[in-house]
A and B are shown apart, each in its own frame.
Chain A
């Protein structure tokens, strides 16, 4: 298979984005993949890292200078990265960027992952509360179905379980 970008070299990277039923296929050679890296959402790791790093280092000194020139610049208050810089380099500057850019992130994450909300692992130490919340959400669903099926004894047991968990959350 030949690279779809340059039409010369053999393609060594193959992937497809399927977001909301819309498919885009990519068949690229190494060099085109590297160049295209930052414009392909979801390109596997390690593609355009070279360009990206040199990119950020170049405009780092300029940070802070043009704050006043641009109106309504969305900026991470913690690390100083602006949203447009983030779009350009495809990397967040710090974990607070996720909060400061939160209004913009849903469409972006949906485009990359087809989804914008985490459903995987929760860390034990910092995620205790979240773990309980997820359990409560699941139990409430179960509770509703027990009620629907008129299994009231089971429902009562679940209600107690939910109450215990809510108690635990308030203690955390």
Chain B
């Protein structure tokens, strides 16, 4: 359990996935509910306790044990900072951390599987893979779903499919999403055109790391909006083919920059590398931008003495919850900026 909170990089993130120069991770989330219990929002304390018990029991299923060892963490047993770290690692949602009653998460050993209990729905099965592996993530999520279904009674309706608390999830209950790093499309100012186009084919795009502000670090999450009236494979295929095209656009934008403005690129990525190596104060916005530059430098082989893994790790470690966990205490904004700079210097220069 301490490992889940102390290590920034989940074991699964250390693996290299396909297209990992652009696709950070692929995620599938399935929303499921039990019959005979109100959804978590209206459940009494006793009811949500029963749901917690029933769902938790499934970790003893033999089929599940064959996939991995699993550990259950009730939210009531960890402190605010610890749950914040789990949020920053994308292992639980902010909603589970802040709002749930009798909420818990079941985590696999490598943290690629996380099953939230008593979030907005009774069960949220999530599978995370490095790189572009959305089909692989679905296969695993589907397998886990079958194991849970065998042991539990799901709320399912012939006409409406899997019944969920929010009407935007009903039907398949699936949310497939891919996190992309698109610095060249941002630098060449093609990003808005592409995001608009993507949003017109039934997919949603959101910038990441925006604390009420813009998208930082050139990270974008693309996911399906529609869950009803399309099969899982149609939904995933649609996302897959759109992301495939975005990857091509980003690659050609990178190639073009490399030939047409090589010196500009070398200057930019090394300037950021230099700043990260020496700065003593670093706010989250600057850190996200500089880390994005260095990552681009690594992907284009302009920087060779830092690994992509260190970058992935820093993207998570430089967020507020993790910084405070690292420091072992609550930090003010100014203190965070200093700790962030310390941590980056330490990691990036070794």
Contacts and interface: CB of A to CB of B under 8 A. Distances in A.
A26 B300 CA distance: 34
B96 to A, nearest CB: 10
A113 B156 contact: no
Interface in B162-178: 162-172, 174-175
Interface in A81-135: 81, 90-95, 98-99, 105, 108-109, 112-127, 130, 133
Contact of A125 (B94, B149, B192): B149
Contacts, number: 192
Nearest to A12: B207
B41 to A, nearest CB: 6
Interface stretch (A15-23, A67-75, A144-152, A160-168): A15-23
Contacts of B231: 119-121
A125 B151 CA distance: 9
B210 A117 contact: no
A27 B42 CA distance: 32
A25 interface: yes
B226 A113 contact: yes
A36 interface: no
A108 B167 contact: yes
B214 A121 contact: no
A43 B168 contact: yes
A44 B225 contact: yes
Q: Which size class do A's interface residues fall under?
A: 35 or more
Interface of A: 1, 9-10, 12-18, 23, 25-27, 29-31, 41-46, 49-50, 53, 56, 78-81, 90-95, 98-99, 105, 108-109, 112-127, 130, 133
23 contacts: A10-B213, A15-B199, A15-B205, A18-B200, A18-B202, A26-B199, A27-B196, A29-B212, A41-B167, A42-B226, A44-B223, A45-B168, A56-B41, A81-B42, A92-B167, A95-B35, A114-B226, A115-B226, A116-B159, A117-B159, A117-B160, A125-B149, A126-B149
Interface of B: 33, 35, 37-39, 41-42, 93-95, 98-99, 120, 142, 145-146, 149-150, 153-172, 174-175, 192, 195-196, 198-200, 202-207, 210-215, 223, 225-232, 235
Given A92-B167, A115-B230, 14 more contacts: A12-B206, A12-B214, A14-B195, A30-B210, A41-B167, A46-B95, A79-B38, A95-B39, A98-B170, A109-B228, A118-B172, A120-B172, A123-B154, A126-B156
Closest 4 CB pairs of A and B: A115-B229, A118-B161, A95-B155, A10-B214
